[in-house]
Amino acid sequence: MANHPPYCVVLTYLEDRQEFALQTIDRAMLEPVMAGKFAVPIPLETQDFKIDDEFAHGLGATMLNMIALGQPDIKQYMTLTPPPGQ
């Protein structure tokens, strides 16, 4: 397995092509850009340190909803079921 330095994964919705792009970027390079920006912390402790299907689905839904805040046209394609209790 290749040894990778810590990096971030950036998910972008490209409206003109109606597609998502996933990219990696060195964490140190991205930190100055992210400083002071809106962030949604997701502590693993609140998930009992389990990264399972339920966690992955919730993370994906959160990411898509955040994209929709800035690019509301994508909402027409979204049929996400809210988690129990919401």
User: What is residue 9's three-state secondary structure?
Assistant: strand
Q: What pLDDT, on a 0 to 100 scale, did the predictor assign at position 15?
A: 94
d(CA 47, CA 53): 12
Please enumerate in sequence order all residues whose Cβ is within 8 A of that of 21, keeping only pairs 6 or more positions apart, or say none: 11, 12, 14
Does the structure show a pLDDT above 60 at 5?
yes
User: pTM value?
Assistant: 0.82
Tokens found for residue 39: 């962030």
**What one-letter code names the amino acid at 71?**
Q
Does the structure show a pLDDT above 80 at 86?
no
